[in-house]
Amino acid sequence: MTTTSSVEQVPGVAHRLARSEGTGRVRRPRSTAGAGMYRPWWMPVLWIAPTVIVIAAFGVFPFLNTIALSFTNATPLGGGGDWVGFANYERLLTDDNFWRATRNSIVYALVAVPLLVVLPLMMAQLVYKYLPGIGFFRTAFYAPVVASMVAVALVWQNLLNERGPINTALDRFGVVDSPVPFLSNPTLLLLSAIALTVWKGLGWYMIFYLAALANVPRELYEAAELDGAGTVRQFIHVTVPGVRLTMLLIAIMSGIGSLRVFTEIYVLGGATGGPGGQVQTLPFYIRDTALDPIAGNAGYGAAVSVALFLLTIGLAVMSHKFGAKEES
């Protein structure tokens, strides 16, 4: 870091005095709150430059570029790239595979979000108050979050296979006569992938609720208890309103997460995305259409990407509206 020496040589007070002389280029801090020394003027630039470059080049530019690409016939290996107007978007409208992927992604979010909003809250409630050994439970509940997705998807593949423990248990208790085709029936495969996403996400969202529960005033519980409210009614009338904002946040986060699913489908459903690609999600379809080195069509994939982005924004706005309505 080249800035080190030049800054360190100047003792604090002298530095402050130097600044008051005014060197033209040196800008004053608007407030003195911990602002510290203000020299040399380019120091902030050096400290933030790498971050600005990476975020701009790989966080913001790709989005603009995606929009531009969606009007071209570019290929992933750099060929094409001619302007084709709205052709890619016209193709979207009549592309059954695109609509199937969109439907799968929306179903994914509609099933996963309510589960991920409610179940982690109940888990947080369960581990919030102290009991001997509660730290162990908190850590253990978080375990699936840190385990890698490919690895846990392989675990679930075993659990859900035709002779796996889940089918064995269902059979033993006489729930089903023949094994449930969790991994070969498209609908069940989609639900199995959702179950995997939810299972892995429980601990993650539980943490958010734990932080939120700490902000619910204790007096409210005491008052509710005095009024004779039991555990369930305390949960509905004190806890839920107390963590409403967190619920909204988690609805948005888990909704976006559901629209981003790829690995679960790839591991449970195979490289095709379920039998005949019937369980493909939007990210899956984007990778399939756009990034295949031989047949890939980056322009069309970019149009699908824009659709995915709009869906994400739509979902966030919808959750927000829903949350705002609940509020009033």
- Contact positions with other proteins (CB under 8 A) in 86-115: none
- SS3 call for 261: coil
Q: Which of 111, 126, 170, 224 binds other proteins (CB under 8 A)?
A: 126
Confirm or reject binding of residue 17 to other proteins (CB under 8 A).
no
Mark 216-255 with x for binding to other proteins (rule: CB under 8 A) and - for no binding. ---------------x------------------------
Q: Which of 4, 268, 64, 295 is nearest to 152 (CA)?
A: 268
Calculate the alpha carbon distances from 140 to 126, 145, 211 in Å.
13, 10, 18
SS3 60: helix
Task: Provide the mask over 298-327, with x wherever binding to other proteins is found by CB under 8 A and - wherever it is not.
Answer: x--xx--xx-xx--xx--------------
DSSP label at residue 275: G
Q: Which is nearer to other proteins, 154 or 236 (CB)?
A: 154
Minimum gap (Å) between residue 58 Cβ and other proteins: 4
* Residue 322 Cβ vs other proteins, minimum distance, rounded to whole Å: 19
83 beta partners:
72
Q: Which of 72, 74, 95, 252 binds other proteins (CB under 8 A)?
A: 74
Least separation in angstroms between CB 325 and other proteins: 23
Catalogue the long-range contacts made by 154-163 (C-beta closer than 8 Å, 24 or more residues apart): 154/267, 156/192, 156/195, 156/196, 156/199, 156/268, 157/183, 157/267, 157/268, 160/192, 160/268
Smallest gap from residue 182 Cβ to other proteins (A): 13
76: CB partners within 8 A, 6+ apart:
290, 291, 292, 293, 296, 298
CB closer to other proteins out of 24 and 50: 50
Nearest distance from C-beta of residue 258 to other proteins, angstroms: 11
Name the residue nearer to other proteins (CB basis): 57 or 325: 57
Please classify residue 16 by burial: count the beta carbons closer than 10 Å to its beta carbon, then call 0-12 exposed, 13-18 middle and 19+ buried: middle
**Interacting residue with other proteins among 43, 111, 216, 220 (CB under 8 A):** 43
Q: Does 287 bind other proteins (CB under 8 A)?
A: yes
CA–CA distance from 281 to each of 16, 76, 179, 261, 275 (Å)?
58, 20, 26, 7, 13
The conformation of residue 72, written as its DSSP 8-state character, comes to B
- Is 56 a binding residue for other proteins by CB under 8 A? The answer is yes
* Smallest distance, other proteins to C-beta of residue 324, A: 19
- Minimum Å gap between C-beta 327 and other proteins is 20
Residue list 144-173, contact with other proteins (CB under 8 A)? 144-152, 154-159, 161, 163-165, 168, 171-172
**Among the residue ranges 62-70, 90-98, 180-188, 320-328, the one whose residues contact other proteins (CB under 8 A):** 62-70
Q: In a 3-state reduction of DSSP, which class is residue 315? A: helix
| Residue 87 in tokens | 């052709």
Q: Out of 80, 181, 270, 323, which residue is the one contacting other proteins (CB under 8 A)?
A: 270
Q: Which is nearer to other proteins, 65 or 187 (CB)?
A: 65
